[in-house]
Amino acid sequence: MKSLRNSVQLIGRLGKDPEVKTVGKSQKATFSIATSDSYKNAKGEKVDDTQWHNIVIWGQLAEVAQKYLKKGMEVCVEGKLMHRDYETDKGEKRFITEINVNDLLMLGGKQK
């Protein structure tokens, strides 16, 4: 059960092609995925709810992401939920939540 302490699994579609940068001696790929859910509201109407998630992949897996992943593809990611903050050029403090990926599974091509 120790591995469940901070574990996230998501299946979603890429919102854009991965952006890959070299950080030190390692590759870092970033992109976002959308997960969708639907439910009925109090009036019985169907409501579609889409959530966007920031994804970060390091090392050889980042190179795989750069080579094979494209906008619209469906993927399954498993990783760790990370919260961080940074300061903009204007001195504003911003907060971001990311999934730091340990494992990636490509599920399919672009949505038709």
- Rounded to whole angstroms, the Cα distance separating 16 from 35 reads 14
Nearest to 81 by CA among 23, 9, 16: 9
Contact 77, 104 (CB under 8 A): yes
CATH code: domain of residue 23: 2.40.50.140
pLDDT for 36-82, tens place per residue? 999 999 999 999 999 999 999 999 999 999 999 999 999 999 999 99
Residue span of the structural domain in which 90 resides: 2-38+47-108
Q: Could you give the number of structural domains in the chain?
A: 1
What is the model's pTM? 0.84
Mean pLDDT, to the nearest integer, of 85-91?
A: 93
